Amino acid sequence: MFPAFSANLTRPEGVAAEFGWVDYLLFALTLVISALIGVYFAFFDPKRQNTRDGYLMGGRTMGIFPISMSLIASYISGISLLAIPAEMYVYGTQYWVAVTSDILASLTMAFIYLPVFYQLKIVSSYEYLELRFSRPVRLFGSVVFLIKMMLYIPIVIYVPALAFSQVTGFNLHLVTPVVCIVCIFYTMLGGLKAVVWTDALQTVLMFGGVTVVMILGTVYVGGPAAVWQRAIDGERIEFFKLSLDPTERHTIWSVVIGNYASVLAAFAVNQAMVQRALAMSSIRKAKITIGILAIGLACIVSMCCYTGLVIYATFFVCDPISTKQIGKADQLLPHFVMAISKGIPGLPGLFMAGVFSAALSSMSTGLNSMTGIIFEDLIRPCVKKPISEARASFIMKVMVALIGALCVALVFLVEKLGTLLQAGRSLSSITAGPLLGVFSLGLLFPWANGKGALVGGITSMLLVGWISVGSQTAIAGGTLYFETKPTSIAGCPEMPTVAPASLPRSEAFVLYQLSYMWYTLVGCATALFVGIITSFITGATRVADVDRAFLSPAVHWLLPSQKEGAEMEMPKRKDP
Torsion angles phi and psi, residue 543, rounded to 5 = -55, -35
Long-range contacts of 395-400 (CB under 8 A, 24+ apart): 396/52, 396/55, 396/56, 396/191, 396/371, 396/372, 397/188, 397/189, 399/370, 399/371, 399/374, 399/375, 400/184, 400/187, 400/188, 400/367, 400/368, 400/371
Check whether 446 has a pLDDT greater than 80: yes
Q: Which of 462, 138, 106, 51 is nearest to 287 (CA)?
A: 106
> Using an 8 Å Cβ cutoff, are 531 and 461 in contact?
no
Per-residue pLDDT of 11-23, as tens digits, reads 434 444 567 778 7
Highest mean pLDDT among 7-11, 95-99, 567-571: 95-99
DSSP state of 62: B
- What pLDDT is attached to residue 96? 93
Taking residues 204-213, report their average pLDDT: 82
- What pLDDT is attached to residue 345? 75
- How far lies 204's CA from each of 163, 201, 310, in Å? 19, 5, 22
> Using an 8 Å Cβ cutoff, are 461 and 523 in contact?
yes
> Using an 8 Å Cβ cutoff, are 277 and 290 in contact?
yes
In angstroms, rounded to a whole number, what is the distance separating the alpha carbons of residues 422 and 429? 11
DSSP state of 271: H
- What pLDDT is attached to residue 407? 79
pLDDT band per the 50, 70, 90 thresholds, residue 354:
confident
In angstroms, rounded to a whole number, what is the distance separating the alpha carbons of residues 396 and 370? 10
Using a 10 angstrom Cβ sphere, with 0-12 exposed, 13-18 middle and 19 or more buried, the burial of residue 200 is buried
Per-residue pLDDT of 223-251, as tens digits, reads 999 999 999 998 889 888 888 888 888 89
Q: Which of 171, 178, 249 is nearest to 31 (CA)?
A: 178
- What pLDDT is attached to residue 21? 77
Check whether 448 has a pLDDT greater than 80: yes
In angstroms, rounded to a whole number, what is the distance separating the alpha carbons of residues 101 and 537? 35
- What pLDDT is attached to residue 322? 82
In angstroms, rounded to a whole number, what is the distance separating the alpha carbons of residues 475 and 363? 26
Highest mean pLDDT among 67-81, 533-547, 549-563: 533-547
- What pLDDT is attached to residue 431? 85
- What pLDDT is attached to residue 416? 55
Q: Give the rounded distance of the alpha carbon of 486 from its chain centre.
A: 29
Torsion angles phi and psi, residue 280, rounded to 5 = -80, 155
pLDDT band per the 50, 70, 90 thresholds, residue 403:
confident
Look up the pTM and report it. Answer: 0.80
pLDDT, the chain, mean: 78
In angstroms, rounded to a whole number, what is the distance separating the alpha carbons of residues 110 and 489? 48
Check whether 295 has a pLDDT greater than 60: yes
pLDDT band per the 50, 70, 90 thresholds, residue 310:
very high
- What pLDDT is attached to residue 572? 44
Check whether 571 has a pLDDT greater than 60: no
Amino acid found at 482: F
- What pLDDT is attached to residue 154? 80
Residue 559, C-beta contacts closer than 8 angstroms, at least 6 positions apart: 446, 543, 544, 546, 548, 551
In angstroms, rounded to a whole number, what is the distance separating the alpha carbons of residues 193 and 419? 33
Per-residue pLDDT of 171-188, as tens digits, reads 767 777 777 777 777 777
Annotated domain spans of the chain: 5-14+60-417
- What pLDDT is attached to residue 5? 41
In angstroms, rounded to a whole number, what is the distance separating the alpha carbons of residues 465 and 527? 13
Per-residue pLDDT of 49-90, as tens digits, reads 555 555 555 445 566 777 777 777 777 766 777 888 988 998
Q: Which residues of 535-566 are buried (b: 16+ CB within 10 A; e: fewer)?
A: beeeebbeeeebbbebbbeebeeeeeeeeeee
Residue 376, C-beta contacts closer than 8 angstroms, at least 6 positions apart: 56, 123, 124, 126, 127
Highest mean pLDDT among 11-15, 333-337, 435-439: 435-439
- What pLDDT is attached to residue 560? 73
Taking residues 217-226, report their average pLDDT: 90
> Using an 8 Å Cβ cutoff, are 223 and 236 in contact?
no
pLDDT band per the 50, 70, 90 thresholds, residue 500:
very low
> Using an 8 Å Cβ cutoff, are 210 and 354 in contact?
yes
> Using an 8 Å Cβ cutoff, are 258 and 523 in contact?
no
Q: Which residues of 12-32 are buried (b: 16+ CB within 10 A; e: fewer)?
A: eeebebebeeebeebbeebbe
Using a 10 angstrom Cβ sphere, with 0-12 exposed, 13-18 middle and 19 or more buried, the burial of residue 48 is middle
Taking residues 106-121, report their average pLDDT: 88
- What pLDDT is attached to residue 43? 65
- Tell me how many helices (H) and strands (E) the chain has: 21, 0
- What pLDDT is attached to residue 536? 94
In angstroms, rounded to a whole number, what is the distance separating the alpha carbons of residues 111 and 81? 29
> Using an 8 Å Cβ cutoff, are 546 and 572 in contact?
no
Taking residues 561-575, report their average pLDDT: 45
- What pLDDT is attached to residue 224? 93
> Using an 8 Å Cβ cutoff, are 340 and 148 in contact?
no
DSSP state of 327: S
Tell me which of 118-127, 160-169, 198-207, 342-351 is least confident. 160-169
Check whether 468 has a pLDDT greater than 50: yes
In angstroms, rounded to a whole number, what is the distance separating the alpha carbons of residues 31 and 412? 23
Return the CATH number of the domain spanning residue range 5-14+60-417. 1.20.1730.10
Residues in the chain: 576
Q: Which of 66, 121, 125 is nearest to 292 (CA)?
A: 66
